[in-house]
Amino acid sequence: MTPAGTLLCATDLRKAYGPTKALDGAEFSIHPGEVVAVMGPSGSGKSTLLHCLAGIVTPDSGTITYAGRELSAMNDSERSALRRGEFGFVFQFGQLVPELTCVENVALPLRLAGVRRKEAERTALHWMSELEVADLGSKRPGEVSGGQGQRVAVARALVTQPRVIFADEPTGALDSLNGELVMQLLTEAARSANAAVVLVTHETRVAAYSDREIVVRDGKSRDMERIV
Partner 1 sequence: MSIGHTLLGLLEAGPRHGYDLKRAFDEKFGHDRPLAYGQVYSTMSRLLKNGLVEVDGIESGGGPDRKRYAITDAGITDVETWLSQPEKPEPYLHSTLYTKVVLALLTGRGAAELLDVQRAEHLRLMRILTQRKRKGDLADQLVCDHALFHLEADLRWLELTAARLGQLAQEVRR
Q: What is the contact surface with partner 1 in residues (CB under 8 A)? A: 41, 184, 203-205, 207-211, 213, 215, 222, 224-225, 227-228
Please report how close the Cβ of residue 189 comes to partner 1 at its closest, in angstroms.
13
For partner 1, which is the closer residue by CB, 104 or 130? 130
Please report how close the Cβ of residue 210 comes to partner 1 at its closest, in angstroms.
8
Please report how close the Cβ of residue 36 comes to partner 1 at its closest, in angstroms.
12
- Per the CB < 8 A criterion, the answer to whether 221 and 49 are in contact is yes
List, in order, residues 6 or more apart from 132 with CB less than 8 Å away: 151, 185
Total residues belonging to the chain: 228
- Per the CB < 8 A criterion, the answer to whether 69 and 6 are in contact is no
At residue 15, φ and ψ (nearest 5 deg) are -150, 125
For partner 1, which is the closer residue by CB, 52 or 185? 185
Burial of 45 (0-12, 13-18, 19+ CB in 10 A): buried
Q: Within a 10 A sphere around the Cβ of 27, how many other Cβ atoms?
A: 16
Distances (CA, A) of 121 to 117, 128, 156: 6, 10, 11
For partner 1, which is the closer residue by CB, 66 or 209? 209
Q: Give the separation between CA 39 and CA 32, rounded to whole angstroms.
A: 20
For partner 1, which is the closer residue by CB, 41 or 69? 41
- Per the CB < 8 A criterion, the answer to whether 26 and 44 are in contact is no
Please report how close the Cβ of residue 191 comes to partner 1 at its closest, in angstroms.
11
Please report how close the Cβ of residue 199 comes to partner 1 at its closest, in angstroms.
13
For partner 1, which is the closer residue by CB, 72 or 180? 180
For partner 1, which is the closer residue by CB, 41 or 60? 41
Please report how close the Cβ of residue 158 comes to partner 1 at its closest, in angstroms.
19
